[in-house]
């Protein structure tokens, strides 16, 4: 999938070294809101195992892990994840991160616009949501720029890498809301 000057593609086993490098470079930042990914990917072997698991989960329509690459340079910029699927509704959660040198440039907001379209048009979802920490202002901006509405505060709903329980803000977007704003 191509969005603006970026390419999103499902992660492959051959990406293990690149994914490990991205996570290593950003590990300190990722520990708070991506503690499982950060602790699961610590060396090349664990990166390969992690990716192998994500490939299987994508075959089962449970989890989609996309790499965000610059189309011109093929540089790995970040990851975009679709997870927590409930196919009865149907709905899923969006999660994302970019390398620290690309933060604050609007990249995730642009890509989210394309992902939202993909979720509603291709995956035929009825709802998508973003959960973000109260102090994650960048992620809140991504949600609001893309039409998500704050639906509530989930108290003590997430445990970070240090064991702290964090409050999470829940932003939702329904198919109906999205269509009305097109």
pLDDT in tens, 64-84: 999 999 999 999 999 999 999
**Residue 16 confidence (pLDDT) above 90:** yes
Q: What is the pTM of this model?
A: 0.94
Measured CA to CA, the distance from residue 150 to residue 142 in angstroms comes to 12
3-state DSSP assignment of residue 9 = strand
The pLDDT score that the predictor gives to residue 182 is 82
Share of the chain above pLDDT 70, in %: 100
Q: What is the separation, in whole angstroms, between the first and last Cα of the chain?
A: 20
Measured CA to CA, the distance from residue 79 to residue 126 in angstroms comes to 23
Where are the chain's structural domains?
A: 2-180
Tens-digit pLDDT profile for residues 121-138:
999 999 999 999 999 999
Q: Hey, how many other C-beta atoms are within 10 angstroms of the C-beta on 52?
A: 13
Alpha-helical segments (H) within 72-174 = 107-121, 137-145
Q: What integer is the mean pLDDT of 159-181?
A: 94
Alpha-helical segments (H) within the chain = 16-33, 35-40, 44-59, 107-121, 137-145, 175-180
CATH fold label, 2-180 = Aminopeptidase (3.40.630)
Tens-digit pLDDT profile for residues 102-117:
999 999 999 999 999 9
């Amino acid at each position: 999938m191509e969005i603006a000057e970026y390419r999103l593609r499902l992660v492959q086993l051959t990406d293990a070294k690149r994914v490990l490098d991205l996570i290593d470079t950003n590990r300190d930042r990722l520990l708070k809101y991506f503690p499982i990914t950060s602790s699961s990917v610590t060396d090349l072997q664990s990166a390969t195992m992690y990716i192998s698991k994500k490939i299987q989960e994508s075959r089962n329509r449970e989890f989609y892990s996309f790499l965000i690459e610059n189309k011109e340079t093929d540089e790995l910029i970040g990851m975009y994840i679709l997870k927590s699927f409930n196919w009865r509704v149907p709905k899923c959660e969006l999660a994302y991160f970019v390398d620290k040198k690309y933060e604050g440039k609007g990249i995730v907001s642009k890509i989210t616009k394309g992902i939202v379209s993909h979720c509603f048009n291709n995956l035929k979802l009825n709802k998508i949501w973003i959960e973000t920490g109260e102090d994650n202002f960048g992620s809140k901006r991504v949600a609001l720029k893309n039409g998500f509405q704050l639906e509530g505060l989930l108290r003590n709903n997430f445990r970070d890498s240090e064991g702290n329980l964090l409050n999470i803000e829940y932003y939702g977007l329904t198919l109906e809301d999205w269509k009305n704003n097109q």
